[in-house]
Amino acid sequence: MPLPLVAVVGRPNVGKSTFVNRIAQANEAIVHEMRGVTRDRSYHEADWNGVEFKLVDTGGIEMGDDDAFQGSIRAQAIAGANEADVVVFVVDGKTGINADDEEVARILRKTRKPVFLAVNKMDTPNRTDELWEFYQLGLGDPWPVSATHGHGTGDLLDAVVDELRKADLAGGVEEDGGINVAIIGRPNAGKSSLTNRLTANERSIVSDVAGTTRDAIDTRVERDGRRYTIVDTAGLRRKSQIDQDVEYYGFVRAMRAIDRADVALLVIDSTLGLTDQDQRVAGFAAERGCAMVVVLNKWDLVDGPEAKAEIRERIADRLTFVGYAPVIAISALTGKKVERVWDAIDAAYANFSQTIPTNKLNTWLGEIRETGHTVSSGKAVLRMKYVTQTSTCPPRFTFFANRPDLVTDNFERFLENRLRARFDLTGTPIQMKFKKKD
Ligand code: GDP
Ligand code: GDP
């Protein structure tokens, strides 16, 4: 199971980023934030009272112009309500409620997910008499907080984490759709064609798409006794939208699909190469921690070995941050090599969900200690003592060291490369944590 998601939503300037940074910062000593290629939507890991979760700061997804802007506040709220386990809705205690807040509240009231209303910028504690206005949002008791000073954030987090614990205890009721595969990529890359190929020869059921917020088509597939849910983000096309909206919604759709994916298939039109959007979407998938397979589609249109080699090289150059993802050239049109996509999904998922035995990891670490480079600062020398895998989907490794503060990005990359050289981690991102042990 991926970590539970806590979405932080609210209009610009209410203090979402400040709030998220405060919570994420409290853990900075032990959590090394994953390097992201984009700041549009940031995922932060947090740990409160021993409960680990991911915070999604949806704050950056707004676009410039007014219409899209309105849409995006709605989209954020909907995305939050759909994908997160708990939603924290932040409003500004200084300026009070406005129409956008009411719109978000209206959407959130309809969800069955727990929603916490955080009234931010309450810099003076105990001014609870100022809170009455926020009851009218219909989201229960408001939580006064000051993201800059920290007042109230601990109480709010206690409540959020209690809610996550309850959800955990109630777990297992959700129907198991097997391996969740999201098909992402720009319009016309061939996502629908690939989905059709993947689902055509298998026993499949297209789930009903009732609900106003459902915007991808899920297909359940059973293959060789394994179950998959294929999520095609090309899914429903809304006819009446202007171009910018289509692109914008395509993007939001991809993010949502990634939020619940185990494996993301990034479909690229080989004749056009990689777009910035492809890179951003790949970046989200990496930050979110889902496995990835890159599919070079329309390979039938690429002529000759030189052209093929050049395309592969160019793509690899621009996707170095997901260098673990296998790249498979196919033709969804003719069906050529599509079978390999299945193999890649299975392999990526196997690696994503694996548990590497502690003794093997420590044998490896022993060798690193003998041959690896040393990290030091003044007289202090970093000594790695012990490693164990503390989570799966994606695999997370916790290293115990005398001085975790000495771990540099460079050293992390070195460790990751060595881990990947030893163990099969193709297709999956990994996470590393460093804790102190004397
Ligand atoms: P976001 O757009 O919702 O992510 O908002 P930011 O986190 O960027 O904050 C917007 C502004 O509000 C910044 O100038 C912050 O310094 C300020 N701000 C955030 N939290 C607080 C708070 O608790 N008290 C006060 N007084 N200002 C805050
Ligand atoms: P989507 O928007 O990503 O779902 O893309 P579609 O699956 O609708 O495909 C867009 C267009 O590309 C259609 O005209 C497809 O027939 C065509 N197409 C898809 N895959 C291939 C392929 O492998 N080779 C060729 N030549 N055309 C393809």
Residues 151 and 108 in one domain: yes
Whether 192 is in a domain gets the answer: yes
**235 shares a domain with 213:** yes
* HEC profile of 32-100: CCCCCCCCCCEEEEEEECCEEEEEEEHHHHCCCCHHHHHHHHHHHHHHHHHHCCEEEEEEECCCCCCHH
Q: Mark whether 244 and 292 lie in a shared domain.
A: yes
102 lies in some domain: yes
Q: 321, 352, 383: which is the final residue of a domain? A: 352
Is it the case that residue 233 has pLDDT exceeding 80? Answer: no
What per-residue confidence (pLDDT) applies to 115? 93
Nearest residue CA, atom 27 of ligand 1? 121
Q: Are 404 and 418 in a shared domain?
A: yes
Closest CA to 322 of 282, 382, 375, 353: 282
Distance in Å, CA 15 to ligand 1 centroid = 3
Indicate whether 263 and 329 sit together in one domain.
Answer: yes
Domain termination site, one of 329, 352, 375: 352
Task: Please identify, by atom number, the ligand 1 atom nearest to the C-alpha of residue 149.
Answer: 23
Measured between alpha carbons, how far is 38 from 167 in angstroms, rounded to an integer? 30
Rounded distance between C-alpha atoms, residue 291 and residue 303, angstroms: 30
Q: In this structure, which residue's CA is closest to atom 22 in ligand 1?
A: 121
Do residues 129 and 49 both lie within one domain? Answer: yes
The answer to whether 263 is annotated as binding is: no
Q: How many residues does the chain have?
A: 438
Rank 53-62, 97-106, 198-207 by mean pLDDT and report only the highest.
97-106
**What is the reported pLDDT for 88?**
94
Distance between CA 219 and CA 205 in Å, rounded?
6
- What is the reported pLDDT for 284? 84
327 and 188 within one domain: yes
Residue 59 CA: nearest ligand 1 atom is 4
pTM recorded for the entire structure: 0.63
CA of 238 to the centre of ligand 2 (A): 18
Question: Where residue 274 sits, what CATH number does that domain have?
Answer: 3.40.50.300
Are 364 and 346 in a shared domain? no
> Has residue 173 been placed in a domain?
no
**161 belongs to a structural domain:** yes
- The closest ligand to the CA of 237 turns out to be 2
Same domain, 293 and 420: no
Q: Is the pLDDT assigned to residue 67 strictly greater than 50?
A: no
What whole-number distance in Å separates Cα of residue 32 and Cα of residue 45? 9
Does residue 390 sit in the same domain as residue 418? yes
Q: Is residue 171 part of a domain?
A: no
CATH value at residue 388: 3.30.300.20
Least reliable range by pLDDT among 73-77, 213-217, 391-395, 434-438: 213-217
Nearest-atom number in ligand 1 for the CA of 147 is: 23
- Among residues 352, 378, 409, the one where a domain terminates is 352
pLDDT surpassing 80 at residue 299: yes
* Residue of 346, 351, 55 whose CA lies nearest to 181: 346
Find the residues whose C-beta lies inside 6 A of ligand 1.
10, 12-18, 59, 120-121, 123, 146-148
pLDDT, tens digit (0-9, with 9 covering 90-100), for 112-147: 789 999 999 999 877 767 788 888 888 888 999 999
Q: How far is the CA of 60 from the centre of ligand 1 (A)?
A: 14
Range of the domain at 408: 358-436
Question: Which of ligand 1's atoms lies nearest the C-alpha of 21?
Answer: 7
Provide long-range contacts, Cβ within 8 A and 24+ apart, for 160-169: 160/6, 160/48, 160/86, 160/88, 160/116, 161/48, 161/49, 161/51, 161/53, 163/85, 163/86, 163/114, 163/116, 164/4, 164/6, 164/51, 164/53, 164/85, 164/86, 165/51, 167/4, 167/85, 167/86, 168/4
Please name the residue whose Cα sits nearest to atom 18 of ligand 2.
Answer: 190
Each residue's pLDDT tens digit, 145-199: 999 998 999 999 999 998 888 765 433 334 467 899 999 988 888 988 898 899 8
Instruction: Give the span between the Cα atoms of 316 and 308, in whole angstroms.
Output: 12
If asked whether residues 330 and 191 sit together in one domain, one would say yes
- Nearest CA, atom 24, ligand 2: 298
Structure confidence by residue, pLDDT tens digits, 239-292: 444 444 555 666 667 777 887 899 999 999 999 988 888 888 898 888 888 999
- Is 224 a residue whose pLDDT tops 90? no
Distance set, CA 253 to CA 182, 184, 207, 281 (Å): 10, 9, 17, 11
How many domains does one find in the chain? 3
Residues 18 and 136 reside in one and the same domain: yes
Taking the mean position of all CA atoms in its chain, how far away is CA 330?
Answer: 26
ipTM above 0.85, yes or no: no
